[in-house]
Structure 1
């Protein structure tokens, strides 16, 4: 039989102290009462409680001082502050000094017992937390799955070969990290690695950005500008989201690959360059070729070697390594002690479908660190983050902006029309995809969340290829 959990309760109001001690004792906890700062510190050292409850106002001492003291002794041990002085300042100060949470007097005893149970869950979680994994290639591509090992092998196979490399994968999988690793392990590692996000640069400026321009070549060209290809001379250029490049720019890029030279806008002379090209896209280029939106000859020039970067759902065994990597990274950035996560919370993360891939996982872990406040991350925190509407971060907002920019650019070039309908379809598909994934395939639950009828839910799932006939709901 397990020994009862020990809880130190500190309050200089004898009546209130007795009330709390009785409620905790009747719930099976071993209570250690204290009525002063000195007594509390002495009893804490003697009994080593798993949890501490202290009042905000004590004779000759502030409960905040005790919170700071106890947190300094053991940051993993939860401290709950009770106070009759409810204010934002008290709440913020208590949490900043390391309190797990605080309760405003008068409170109901079930409230206290519920908070105690939740706090103890976080305390136990630290004991059972997985240990961080060893860093992987470049200390940036994190994971040990078979799928990722195949990527590592491809990187090693092509790194020192002067061939163009084409990286394929969904948005958020880390294609830029693969490009950086190829450069790092090549014989060009001491030369520049220049990255160009083709979708983030307006089409009217992309050619100038890539190839440079001469003074006076267009309005505003007050001086000669060296383009990204010349900046990367001797090294590597990484062209991200190349599938969104216009046909005219594709033609100039093909010339670079064929002849090894560029011509600045407004210039007449050829500039010889020695640049290794790595390209990436999340688009289906074979489909784009069939629709005459991407040059077939450029495609074959770029894809001398193809590297496929799997989606996170295809390598769920890498989630623990990634989580621990992001815990370490963001805890340090946020000024927190190294974060940890419970086994059950980790399992929730592994079971998630991650439509936004590694980028989405990193965002969730960073938010979880903020919610946990130097306590272990529990399943409750993860569930709350998954359930929160509007989990769009700045990178996701930027992605939406880039999609709109891309569609409008193609429309202005006469390649497509009906941009609003296309965007509506994209957003609606993502909405239903994430809802049915979060509901674990339960159509009734997803329909309730979205506020639509079951027939409408089924219609949309069928429309977007998301319908699962095996769903019993």
Structure 2
């Protein structure tokens, strides 16, 4: 097989031409892939069934495997599972017939890097190959104790945290859409950034979007962009989130807050891999990996017809569940120390430490706001005290105080026999004030803590007559 390099393509750092295994029982498909890959400077080895493919894999190392889903003696899914077990680090992509994306999703969940649909698009094939060969090696080094430079890590040595980091490493070697679930403040955006930074897309843009913070009438222009003159005020071209993330990762935070009309448009862009800016006559091809997150139960939103089921299955190819801080209490001292090491230099004060009594109080607390709440507690403590050794009195925190306050409020309100609406308003008012106090009167953070959008927070405060200046 000839080895003519395609112009402009470096061999992704390989000293010699990368070896690619192509598995398909159709000679025409094999010939097409061989010619295309050879022009990209690849050495191609082919097999027509899973038995021969396994023999090839045992004979020499490969840098990429492309396999059809339907093979004479098995399925491409069997080969994906074999490679996952016996060829760690080898990216494998499946080729599936048009309209059978269920098989492709199953392959992605089994560990496939990506998939192509027949008829194979040579442009998509080249993009896939370049991405696969650009994957970083599997990490084997120990996790550092703190974030350093641009490198982001999830700290902790508890079992949930170790399992989470292992899953993130696996997800970073895939192109599959990921849905991150978990409570507010549990680090969903940090996990998304870690997946991106460890993936083949790490040199491209990571674009985070808070879906709940965009006014509904601006969503289409913000997501898809617009041409100059598309509407009043459009004085220049604007790419939008999808085009800004082209080649990289688009992180849709609080995706459950998207209105149904926008969900339809988002689904089409994801399916077609094309976007058209407002006022433009042509669509542009996009190559974007979608990672989404919400603190809500997205499956319940689907059941309540608040979220489209077809979009749910597109976004939730693989689910990553973030553990709550109370599920890994042994990691709290390490995380707290790391937060203090970050905050103290920013506030230009000597490094502060937590004494043993303070650590006991923190590890016994349930943290309904998770790591974000821990950060707020420590920021508040540093703002109010001048000592370098922080004790339990400086924390001004009682274990289980949220539960006790909630129980007390419920009993007092019930005993007063208020009308139902007054009773509910009082509960809502107390909850909002409590959240504002915990977040140092930051409405955005308080809204996240309560599981509502900032717009909803403003509406509720106005309805209940809550003035931020008066309740401080």
TM-score, normalised by the number of residues in structure 1: 0.56
Aligned with residue 393 of structure 1, among 439, 452, 458: 439
CA contact (8 A) 2:351 2:388 kept: no
Post-superposition shift, 1:381? 1.1
What do the CA deviations read for 1:271-316 (whole angstroms, capped 9, x no partner)?
1011111111111111211221101011011111100001111111
Gaps of 5+ in 2: 1-143, 402-432, 467-472
Superposed counterparts of 1:227-306, under 5 Å:
227-306=240-319
What do the CA deviations read for 1:6-64 (whole angstroms, capped 9, x no partner)?
xxxxxxxxxxxxxxxxxxxxxxxxxxxxxxxxxxxxxxxxxxxxxxxxxxxxxxxxxxx
What do the CA deviations read for 1:98-129 (whole angstroms, capped 9, x no partner)?
xxxxxxxxxxxxxxxxxxxxxxxxxxxxxxxx
Aligned with residue 170 of structure 1, among 170, 180, 183: 183
**2:320 matched residue in structure 1:** 307
* Partners of 1:199 and 1:394 in 2: CA distance: 21
Aligned with residue 181 of structure 1, among 173, 191, 194: 194
* Partners of 1:351 and 1:308 in 2: CA distance: 23
Cα gap change, 1:380 to 1:420, in 2 (>3 Å)? closer
SS of equivalent residue, structure 1 residue 171: coil
Matched, 1:145 2:170: no
Aligned with residue 362 of structure 2, among 349, 354, 358: 349
**2:146 matched residue in structure 1:** 135
CA contact (8 A) 1:337 1:374 kept: no
* Partners of 1:271 and 1:379 in 2: CA distance: 58
Superposition CA RMSD, Å: 2.8
Cα gap change, 1:347 to 1:364, in 2 (>3 Å)? same
* Partners of 1:177 and 1:363 in 2: CA distance: 17
CA contact (8 A) 1:215 1:223 kept: yes
**2:226 matched residue in structure 1:** 213
SS of equivalent residue, structure 2 residue 390: coil
Cα gap change, 1:376 to 1:408, in 2 (>3 Å)? closer
Cα gap change, 1:385 to 1:223, in 2 (>3 Å)? farther
CA contact (8 A) 2:344 2:350 kept: yes
* Partners of 1:251 and 1:214 in 2: CA distance: 22
Superposed counterparts of 1:22-171, under 5 Å:
134-135=145-146, 138-171=151-184
SS of equivalent residue, structure 1 residue 160: coil
* Partners of 2:180 and 2:355 in 1: CA distance: 35
SS of equivalent residue, structure 2 residue 232: coil
* Partners of 1:405 and 1:380 in 2: CA distance: 33
What do the CA deviations read for 1:74-117 (whole angstroms, capped 9, x no partner)?
xxxxxxxxxxxxxxxxxxxxxxxxxxxxxxxxxxxxxxxxxxxx
* Partners of 1:395 and 1:281 in 2: CA distance: 23
Post-superposition shift, 1:266? 2.5
Post-superposition shift, 1:399? 4.0
* Partners of 1:165 and 1:191 in 2: CA distance: 18
Question: Which is bigger in relative contact order (C-alpha 8 A, separation at least 6)?
Answer: 1
* Partners of 2:457 and 2:345 in 1: CA distance: 40
* Partners of 1:195 and 1:216 in 2: CA distance: 27
Matched, 1:334 2:347: yes
How many residue pairs are counted as aligned between the two chains? 284
Cα gap change, 1:366 to 1:332, in 2 (>3 Å)? same
**1:129 matched residue in structure 2:** none
**1:69 matched residue in structure 2:** none
* Partners of 1:346 and 1:235 in 2: CA distance: 40
Gaps of 5+ in 1: 1-132, 410-418, 428-473
**1:120 matched residue in structure 2:** none
* Partners of 1:395 and 1:367 in 2: CA distance: 11
Cα gap change, 1:376 to 1:143, in 2 (>3 Å)? same
CA contact (8 A) 2:443 2:454 kept: no
* Partners of 2:447 and 2:365 in 1: CA distance: 26
Post-superposition shift, 1:325? 0.4
Superposed counterparts of 1:359-398, under 5 Å:
359-383=372-396, 391-393=437-439, 396-398=442-444
Cα gap change, 1:265 to 1:385, in 2 (>3 Å)? farther
* Partners of 2:236 and 2:166 in 1: CA distance: 45
Cα gap change, 1:234 to 1:319, in 2 (>3 Å)? same
Post-superposition shift, 1:136? 6.7
TM-score, normalised by the number of residues in structure 2: 0.56
CA contact (8 A) 1:136 1:143 kept: no
SS of equivalent residue, structure 1 residue 368: helix
* Partners of 2:311 and 2:301 in 1: CA distance: 12
* Partners of 1:367 and 1:183 in 2: CA distance: 32
* Partners of 1:352 and 1:239 in 2: CA distance: 30
CA contact (8 A) 1:339 1:375 kept: yes
Matched, 1:200 2:210: no
SS of equivalent residue, structure 2 residue 396: helix
